[in-house]
Each structure stands twice: as C-alpha cells, then as structure tokens.
C-alpha cells in the first residue's frame, strides 16, 4: 500500500461501502424508475450527512445494449449516513415523504455486510 497506489486502485476501492456499523445505513424503497441517484441523495440529505449510497441495479439481458446487458433500477437505494444518529433521523423524518412524485419508505437496512455481497447489483457496470 502507501503512496504508490495508482488511480485505478483508488477508483476500485471506491466501489466498496465505507466501514460503518449497519445502523448507519438505510433502505429507501418505492423509488420511481428513472430517478437519478443525485435526486435521491439530495432528498435524503435532509436526514443528515450522507457518506455513500447508490440505487441498486440489476443486470438484464438485452441484445441491443453494449455487452448484451443493461442495468435496470430495482426501485430501491441504500444510503449510508455518517452516523447512526443521522440514519435514525432520516428514517424518522423522511419515511413516507414524496420523491419524484412517489411516496417512498425509509427503514433500517436489514441486509448483511454489503461489501462482501457477491451480487453484481452493487457493482458499477463494467467500463467499455
């Protein structure tokens, strides 16, 4: 490790969820398809300081897409806050609010450690 790490190594690391107790993360459900992460982040930042997050996507076979696969929103996001207090505040204040014309629900993230999740859904689509 140390100073010699190239940009690729740094970029690769960024795919992983920062270490934090699971209580820092919330599940945001019922997100309208086509909603961008920026909109989710902006909406959820009313709850506290956001460290990381993404709209979870699923790979679908599509012969017209580059590489034969396109990534489609599964209609939910995971948002990680700086502290469990921020996450709790977000759940308290943002559950049932409207994002992009749709009522969302915000609850604790029940999943296990996401950085060990082997599912393709967390990864960014491979660069062409």
What pLDDT digit, counting tens, does each position of 11-36 carry? 545 555 667 788 999 999 999 999 99
On whether the CB atoms of residues 55 and 79 are closer than 8 A, the answer is: no
pLDDT of 15 reads 54
Residue 93 has pLDDT above 90, yes or no: yes
Q: What is the mean pLDDT of residues 74-84?
A: 96
Task: Please report, in angstroms and rounded to a whole number, the separation of the first and last CA atoms in the chain.
Answer: 28
On whether the CB atoms of residues 87 and 47 are closer than 8 A, the answer is: yes
Residue 119 has pLDDT above 90, yes or no: no
The pLDDT-based confidence of 91 (bands split at 50, 70, 90) is very high
pLDDT of 22 reads 83
CA dihedral (25, 122, 36, 50) in degrees, to 10, reads: 30
- 79 phi/psi in degrees, rounded to 5: -120, 130
Question: In this predicted model, what pLDDT tens digit does every residue of 48-57 receive, in sequence order?
Answer: 999 999 999 9
- 7 phi/psi in degrees, rounded to 5: -60, -35
Residue 108, beta-bridge partner list:
26
On whether the CB atoms of residues 92 and 45 are closer than 8 A, the answer is: no
Close Cβ partners of 26 (under 8 Å, ≥ 6 residues apart): 44, 47, 78, 79, 81, 87, 90, 91, 106, 107, 108, 109
- 18 phi/psi in degrees, rounded to 5: -60, 150
Q: What is the mean pLDDT of residues 77-83?
A: 96
Residue 42 has pLDDT above 90, yes or no: yes
Q: What is the mean pLDDT of residues 107-127?
A: 55
Q: pTM higher than 0.75, yes or no? A: no
Secondary structure letter of residue 46 according to DSSP: T
Please state the separation of Cα 124 from the chain's center in Å: 11
pLDDT of 19 reads 75
pLDDT of 8 reads 54
């Amino acid at each position: 490790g140390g100073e010699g790490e190239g940009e690729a190594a740094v970029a690769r690391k960024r795919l992983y969820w920062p270490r934090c107790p699971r209580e820092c993360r919330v599940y945001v459900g019922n997100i309208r398809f086509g909603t961008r992460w920026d909109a989710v982040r902006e909406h959820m930042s009313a709850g506290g300081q956001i460290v990381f997050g993404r709209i979870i996507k699923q790979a679908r076979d599509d012969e017209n897409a580059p590489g034969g696969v396109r990534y489609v929103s599964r209609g939910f996001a995971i948002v990680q806050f700086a502290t469990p207090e921020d996450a709790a505040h977000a759940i308290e204040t943002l559950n049932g609010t409207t994002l992009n014309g749709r009522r969302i629900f915000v609850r604790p993230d029940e999943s296990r450690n996401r950085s060990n999740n082997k599912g393709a859904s967390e990864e960014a689509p491979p660069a062409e």
